[in-house]
C-alpha cells in the first residue's frame, strides 16, 4: 500500500511536469471560462436582480466559470493517456512491476492539482470583477478543494475512454458531455424560474448540486447542507467514472 502510494506520487510528479512544460495547452482552459464570465455578466448582470432576484451576478457566475475551466482541463487527462498509449510509453510503464492502478492514478492526481491552480486563478479574476466571497479566505480553500475533487472525478470520463479506445478524438468527449450537463443546471438563473421539465432535469443532474455547493461559498457563506450535497454528487460521479476507468484498464491490460 505504501509502495503503491509512493509510486503514484512519482507518476503524479511526472504528469505534473508534462503540464508545466507545456503551459500553452492550459491557456484555453483559463481564457474561455473568464471570457464567458465577462460576457455573461455583461449581458445579464444588469437585469439579474430584477429578473430573478440575483444582485451579485458575478458571484453567481463565478462557480460556473470554475466548472467550465475544470471540465476543460480535466478532459485533457484522457488526451495525455492517449499520447502515452500512442507512443508506446504506457506499454513501457505496464512492463514495470508498478501496480497498474498507480499508472492511472498518477495522471489523475496530477490533473486534480492542475485544476486547483486553475481554479485559484479564476477565483482571483472573479474577486477582481467583484464577486466577493461570503465564506471568507477559508471559503476560497474549500472552493479550490471542491474543484480539485470534481476535476479528479471528471477526468475519469476522458481517462476511461482513452484506455478503452486509445483514440485522441474520442478521449475529448468528456468536455462535450459537460455542456449539456451545465445547461441543464441552474448555471444562468436559479431553478425557481425554470419551466417544470427543466427543473426536473436540473434536480437529477449532479452538476446542479456541485454548482450550488460552490455557489453557496461565494454568495451565502458556510451552508453545510449545500456543501454536503456537492460532496456527495462529486463522490457519486467519481465512483462512476473510476469504475469505468478500472474496467477500461483491465480490458487494456488483459
Partner 1 sequence: MPAILTEQLVKHYSAEIKAVNGIDLSIDEGEIFAFLGQNGSGKTTTVRMLTTLLRPTSGRAEVDGLDVIRQGSTIRRRIGVALQEAALDDMQTGRELLTLQARLYGVAGNGVRERADELLKVVDLEEAADRLVKTYSGGMKRRLDLAAALVHRPKIVFLDEPTTGLDPISREGIWRYVEVLNKDMGVTFFLTTQYLEEADRLAHRVCIIDAGQIVAEGSPEELKSSIGTDVVTVRVGGGAEGPERAEQALRGLEGAEEIRLVGDSVVIYIRDGSAAIPRIVLMMNEASVPMAEVTLARPTLDDVFLQKTGHHLEVGAQAAEPGQEARG
Residues that bind partner 1 (CB under 8 A): 3, 6-7, 10-11, 14, 17-18, 21-22, 84, 87-89, 91-98, 254
Q: Which helix (H) or strand (E) holds 14?
A: helix 2-20
The residue (of 104 and 157) whose beta carbon lies closer to partner 1 is: 104
Q: How far is residue 100's CA from residue 78's CA, in Å, rounded to a whole number? A: 16
- 214 by Cβ neighbours in 10 Å (0-12 / 13-18 / 19+) ranks as buried
| All residues at 6 or more sequence positions from 235 whose CB lies less than 8 Å from its CB, including other chains | 153
Comparing CB distances to partner 1, the nearer of 8 and 40 is 8
Length of the chain, please? Answer: 254
Packing angle between helix 57-86 and helix 24-44, nearest 10 degrees? 160
Supply the minimum distance, in Å, between the C-beta of residue 252 and partner 1.
Answer: 10
Nearest-approach distance from CB 130 to partner 1, in angstroms:
39
Nearest distance, CB of residue 13 and partner 1, angstroms: 8
Residue 185 carries which DSSP code? T
Q: Which is nearer to partner 1, 31 or 89 (CB)?
A: 89
Residue 240's Cβ-count burial label (10 Å; 0-12, 13-18, 19+) is: middle
End-to-end CA distance of the chain: 23
- Min CB(93)–partner 1 separation in Å: 7
Contact 186, 194 (CB under 8 A): yes
Between 14 and 221, name the residue whose CB sits nearer to partner 1: 14
Nearer to partner 1, 171 or 216 (CB): 171
Return phi, psi of residue 74, to 5°. Answer: -75, -20
Kind plus residue range of the DSSP H or E element containing 23: none
When the beta carbons of 93 and 220 are compared against partner 1, the nearer one is 93
What is the closest distance, in whole angstroms, from the C-beta atom of residue 164 to partner 1 in the complex? 17
Query: What cell was used for 43?
Result: 449581458
CB nearer to partner 1: give 46 or 250: 250
Helix axes 136-165, 206-219, angle to 10 degrees: 160
Task: Give the shortest CB-24-to-partner 1 separation in angstroms.
Answer: 13
**Three-state DSSP state, 124:** helix
Q: Least distance (Å) from partner 1 to the CB of residue 98?
A: 4
Amino acid at each position: 500500500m505504501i509502495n503503491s502510494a509512493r509510486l503514484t506520487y512519482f507518476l503524479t510528479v511526472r504528469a505534473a511536469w508534462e503540464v508545466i512544460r507545456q503551459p500553452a495547452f492550459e491557456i484555453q482552459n483559463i481564457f474561455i471560462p473568464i471570457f464567458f464570465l465577462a460576457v455573461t455578466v455583461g449581458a445579464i448582470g444588469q437585469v439579474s436582480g430584477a429578473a430573478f432576484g440575483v444582485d451579485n451576478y458575478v458571484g453567481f457566475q463565478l462557480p460556473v466559470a470554475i466548472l467550465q475551466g475544470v471540465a476543460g482541463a480535466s478532459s485533457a487527462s484522457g488526451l495525455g493517456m492517449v499520447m502515452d498509449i500512442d507512443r508506446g510509453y504506457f506499454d513501457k510503464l505496464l512492463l514495470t512491476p508498478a501496480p497498474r492502478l498507480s499508472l492511472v492514478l498518477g495522471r489523475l492526481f496530477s490533473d486534480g492539482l492542475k485544476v486547483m491552480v486553475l481554479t485559484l486563478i479564476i477565483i482571483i479574476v472573479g474577486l477582481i470583477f467583484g464577486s466577493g466571497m461570503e465564506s471568507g479566505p477559508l471559503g476560497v480553500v474549500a472552493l479550490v478543494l471542491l474543484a480539485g475533487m470534481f476535476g479528479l472525478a471528471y477526468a475519469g470520463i476522458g481517462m476511461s475512454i482513452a484506455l478503452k479506445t486509445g483514440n485522441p478524438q474520442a478521449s475529448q468527449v468528456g468536455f462535450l458531455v459537460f455542456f449539456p450537463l451545465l445547461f441543464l443546471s441552474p448555471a444562468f438563473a436559479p431553478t425557481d424560474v425554470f419551466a417544470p421539465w427543466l427543473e426536473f432535469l436540473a434536480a437529477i443532474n449532479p452538476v446542479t448540486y456541485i454548482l450550488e455547493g460552490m455557489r453557496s461559498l461565494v454568495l451565502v457563506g458556510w451552508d453545510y447542507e449545500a456543501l454536503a450535497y456537492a460532496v456527495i454528487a462529486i463522490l457519486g460521479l467519481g465512483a462512476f467514472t473510476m469504475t469505468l476507468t478500472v474496467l477500461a484498464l483491465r480490458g487494456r491490460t488483459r
